[in-house]
Amino acid sequence: MSSDEELQRLRERRLMELQSQQRQAEDVQRARQEAEAQKEALMRRILTPEARQRLTNIKMVRPDYAEQLELQLIQVAQSGRVKLPIDDDMLKRLLLQIQSQQNQREIRIRRR
């Protein structure tokens, strides 16, 4: 086997590896998009338009907090602990509850 043939085989193998990686990345991206679409559909059912707007505003300022909030809203809705759809006033109350729980969880360091 000549070095040209070997080089061509290596190139072909590398191309196949790259194509495989690209397909995997596309699959992951597609799965993320589907999950996001499902979450958005749930939020449309769980929240009134005003509450969704408030959540969107929170998402623009604190995306990580909004992500946690969405997961908690889904859990609350699935458990049946609140009446659906959640309106803006109820969302405000839930936000206050979550905020007070987070404040209680803060670690306090005391001097001796």
Mind listing the pLDDT tens digit for each residue in 60-86? 999 998 998 999 899 988 898 888 899
> Given a cut of 70, is residue 10 above it in pLDDT?
yes
Query: The domain 47-112: what is its CATH number?
Result: 1.10.8
Nearest to 47 by CA among 73, 78, 80, 81: 73
The verdict on whether omega for the bond into residue 49 sits within 30 degrees of 0, i.e. cis, is no
The total of other beta-carbon atoms located within 10 Å of residue 54's CB is: 17
> Given a cut of 80, is residue 97 above it in pLDDT?
yes
Planar angle of CA 94, 83, 89, nearest 5 degrees = 40
pLDDT, averaged across the chain: 90
Which sequence spans correspond to the domains of the chain? 1-46, 47-112
Q: What is the pLDDT of residue 53?
A: 97
How close are the terminal C-alpha atoms of the chain, in Å?
78
What does pTM read for this prediction? Answer: 0.71
